[in-house]
Structure 1
């Protein structure tokens, strides 16, 4: 069971990277002039990074303003949900929904197993 729990935490890390990749790809592929695409491609992941660093880094242990309980759940829904929307806009709605469902299952297992 320890291997499965470790795999779930590894999946959480990959989902976090997926948020940043989804935001960057969305920005760089906007139907806009190149300057706007570069600003969005760098700025969107930067905003996601800033929010995560301020409120959730290291399971809340390394965050400047750590949130717990339902505020943590709300933060994760907004953070991963925002990325799912951007992935859906960039690729397909199914891709965005799939990303969100994988996060939801991962989150439910983290709650069940009391993982950070």
Structure 2
């Protein structure tokens, strides 16, 4: 049973990662004043987040994998950025829920040494 819960928690982590990309994309397309700016922000913000995650945060494929407090800081900034993007796009409740799910997920990953 615990194994199933641990696997579900890893699935939630993956879905949160996708959620960050969707949140930043949504933010970009809602705050832009005209279509060129919307495209730049809506596609550029997730692209920037992808690059940062690929270089520093990807589980087994990071170019410069971070550990310890550096990893904690990266995750807080990365997932916090997703939550902040929702809030800045005018979606306060989804942003708060996103942040809360991340906190629970991170706490369980620490508890279960994932």
TM-score clears 0.5 = yes
CA contact (8 A) 2:32 2:41 kept: no
Q: Distance in 2 between matches of 1:76 and 1:12?
A: 11
Structure-1 residue corresponding to 2:106: 107
State the TM-score, normalizing by the size of structure 1. Answer: 0.93
| TM-score, structure 2 normalization | 0.95
Q: Tell me the equivalent position of 1:79.
A: 78
How many residue pairs get matched? 113
1:44 Cα deviation after fit: 0.3
Q: Conserved in 1, the CA contact under 8 Å of 2:24 and 2:86?
A: yes
TM-aligned CA deviation for residue 31 of structure 1: 4.1
Divergent runs of 4+, >6 A: none
Where structure 2 has 5 or more consecutive residues not aligned to the other structure, the ranges are none
Larger mean CA deviation between 69-78 and 84-93 belongs to 84-93
Within 5 Å, which residues of 2 pair with 1:20-99?
20-58=21-59, 61-99=60-98
Secondary structure, aligned partner of 1:85:
helix
- Offset at residue 62 of structure 1 (A): 1.1
Q: Partner residue of 2:16?
A: 15
- What is the alpha-carbon root mean square deviation over aligned residues? 0.9
Shifted more, 1-10 versus 91-100: the winner is 91-100
